[in-house]
Structure 1
Amino acid sequence: MTRRCLGAMLLAVAITAAAPVNPARAQSAAPAFVDFDWVDPARSRAVPARLHWPTSVASGLRVPLIVFSHGMGGSRRGYSYLGRYWAARGIASLHVQHAGSDSSLWVGNPLTVVNRLQRAAHESEALARAWDLRFALDRVLSSPYGTQIDRRRIVAAGHSYGANTALLAVGARVMREGQWVEARDPRFAAAIVISAPPFYGESDLASVLSKITVPNLHVTATNDVIEIPGYHSPAADRLTVFNGIATPRKLLAVFEGGSHSIFTDRSFTGGPALNPKVKAATAELTLAFLDLAFDGNGTTLTRWNATWQPILATAPGTALSPVPVARSRRMVQGSEVGLVASP
């Protein structure tokens, strides 16, 4: 893949902060989902989506919404453990499928899969994915579900390529032909960034990420290495993205060991014992982050740190404020990396 193509996997989107509102936390039984087969007529582009929705929402109560973007070759069916977890706790999530970089990439002649991946990583597709989130959010807010969504608590989230898409939705941008290219949607009030690839070909990462001002949570692992045909990204790249974001309203959690795909629905990657623990910890951490971002309440995060300390290489701290960067002697894929120290 060309560095130029991959450089635009993260483009743009700045956002306003949400007013503090207590999220619904009462666990509901048997969360449900509904599939949508939307088509964006302006782009003649299919935008399938799956909405995980709490089955019991009290009359008059509005729920938060997480708009989730899958990684390369994924689909709306993926990351279901997160969708189920959120829905069971009163949070809706809309899992958007990106037609140009979804599971269809793995169908066809295996000898041409690298070419298909290259096209999927092109910056035109990176930008199209961000527009997919905007279109899907428009549609769900105008649906009957929209009246029950708290518009002050809408979150962009994603894994891998989807993490890049989420960053596009909250303020990342690149310069092309003397103009900033961005896809900012001010309705997103926070971001959950899991295993974000870097901005290849972008020499000024600070400028690329400078417009991200919403609270953002980053989740990775010491063995979070991206390895697909034609593309390699070491675990240290995940930390480079985190460190490149200037706003102090950010948190970083790094699990010990793991893998890049441990955050997907796959059951054994990263080790059969560690895999379910990382999934459970990640799901719980997202809610602790929302408590902190929207409520200023760090109590849940303090408990989370105590519970999951045994599998952490780096804990996220308990405040959305500047944290010191310490040099770790831990070697990740042969490179020393900076780890954020827990304050």
Structure 2
Amino acid sequence: MRSSGGLAPACASPRRLAVACLALMLAAALPGLSRAQPPELPPTLSNELAVRIVDFDWVDAARARPVPARLYWPNDSAPGARVPLVVFSHGMGGSRRGYSYLARHFAARGVASLHVQHAGSDTSVWAGNPLLLVQRLQTAAHESEALSRGLDIRFALDRILASGTGPYAARIDRSRIVAAGHSYGANTALVAVGAGVMREGRRIEAKDGRFAAAILISSPPFYGEPDLSSVLDNVTVPTLHVTATEDVIRIPGYYSGPADRLAIYNAIATPRKAIAVFNGGSHSMFTDRTSTGGRDLNPKVKAATAELALAFLDQIFDGDRAAMVHWNAKWQPILALAPGVSPHLSAAARARPAHAVQR
């Protein structure tokens, strides 16, 4: 794989979608989690000189909506070589600056990463009177805002592939474009690759056929949708799912645990999928935060997640399974479930490491 919420968490009624998104967003507001934008991690996973960072302050004129984005570009890619592209959607309350550890790792290894910021469900939800926080979260959870996230992804991809944006369009390998995201952003990525619901006899979705795969970290449930298979039956691209045994959204009345991540995985019909479950952790350890989930485990999970994503792309795009086999052996000590192992596990089984199995 080297160079060679609305409709997201539930496309349901505004009330159902508000429940879905509120669960995600309040998770970031719980004690111990900073509301401020976390500082970027030092480039421990990559060579700083190998990565070029470019910010775009795009505006979608048709929607009068800002769509900021940050591009991490592989500086050392061979002249004329085509570069794969990951388009990443942040979780609720995040920004284009987040998940930098993934972006730097990708770009240092020849894969560009475009991180899209979603106005209305970004860091702006934390600004202002704290007594109005719930109101701001509910506004950000509205169905119209959730739909806008999917449109942000499409617009940002349009712009980065436009020749007027810069030299990048001519260098991007359009057969290797991947949707990715964490938490609310994972649902946005699912929408981009085909997730949708039926409303008044009509399927509502925002599938973008340019995406050839998806990387889904901590996907929340599609609240209010009892039949996940119908929501996800149009997701046919290869998918990688990542979670942890303590990947829990702890909201009274809206509890969501790792079983919900497994349910998303199980409901996708295509066999071209893989799931990894880390032992322990937290829902927010996949962000740039450095202590959540355990100070020892946190950096290991970050490194493992970044490596796994590229190993997965090597396998699906190049048919090269060597990196995945190596990954399984390297990270087995922190895994409760390795790619290739059946995800239909009991709670007790998920609490102890499992042996990696490759199919």
1:329 Cα deviation after fit:
4.2
For 2:259, the aligned partner's letter is A
Say which is worse superposed, 217-226 or 237-246, in terms of deviation: 237-246
1:6 Cα deviation after fit:
4.6
Tell me, in whole angstroms, the C-alpha distance in 2 between the residues paired with 1:31 and 1:327: 40
Tell me, in whole angstroms, the C-alpha distance in 1 between the residues paired with 2:89 and 2:126: 18
Residue 238 of structure 2 corresponds to 215
Note the alpha carbon deviations across 1:98-155, whole angstroms, 9 max, x for none: 0020000001111221121122222222211011000000000112211000000000
Residue 105 of structure 2 corresponds to 85
1:227 Cα deviation after fit:
3.7
TM-aligned CA distance change 1:96 to 1:228, over 3 Å:
farther
Tell me, in whole angstroms, the C-alpha distance in 1 between the residues paired with 2:252 and 2:57: 30
1:231 Cα deviation after fit:
4.8
Normalising by structure 1, report the TM-score: 0.87
TM-aligned CA distance change 1:218 to 1:58, over 3 Å:
same
User: How many residues matched?
Assistant: 317
Tell me, in whole angstroms, the C-alpha distance in 1 between the residues paired with 2:250 and 2:116: 23
For 2:67, the aligned partner's letter is V
The answer to whether the Cα contact below 8 Å between 2:88 and 2:181 also exists between their aligned partners in 1 is: yes
The answer to whether the Cα contact below 8 Å between 1:316 and 1:342 also exists between their aligned partners in 2 is: yes
TM-aligned CA distance change 1:104 to 1:231, over 3 Å:
farther
1:328 paired to 2:346: yes
Note the alpha carbon deviations across 1:154-175, whole angstroms, 9 max, x for none: 0000000000000000010011
Structure 1 unaligned spans of 5+: 10-25, 318-322
Residue among 253, 258, 267 paired with 2:281: 258
- What is the aligned-residue identity percentage? 67
Residue 29 of structure 2 corresponds to none
Tell me, in whole angstroms, the C-alpha distance in 2 between the residues paired with 1:340 and 1:210: 30
Normalising by structure 2, report the TM-score: 0.83
TM-aligned CA distance change 1:76 to 1:229, over 3 Å:
farther
Q: Secondary structure at the match of 1:49?
A: strand
Residue among 16, 21, 26 paired with 1:3: 16
Tell me, in whole angstroms, the C-alpha distance in 2 between the residues paired with 1:136 and 1:302: 34
Residue 73 of structure 2 corresponds to 53
* Runs of 4+ in structure 1 over 6 Å off: none
Matches within 5 A, 1:98-177: 98-142=118-162, 143-144=165-166, 145-177=168-200
1:192 paired to 2:215: yes
The answer to whether the Cα contact below 8 Å between 1:54 and 1:87 also exists between their aligned partners in 2 is: yes
Tell me, in whole angstroms, the C-alpha distance in 2 between the residues paired with 1:170 and 1:4: 19
Tell me, in whole angstroms, the C-alpha distance in 1 between the residues paired with 2:295 and 2:344: 31
Tell me, in whole angstroms, the C-alpha distance in 2 between the residues paired with 1:228 and 1:110: 18
1:206 Cα deviation after fit:
0.6
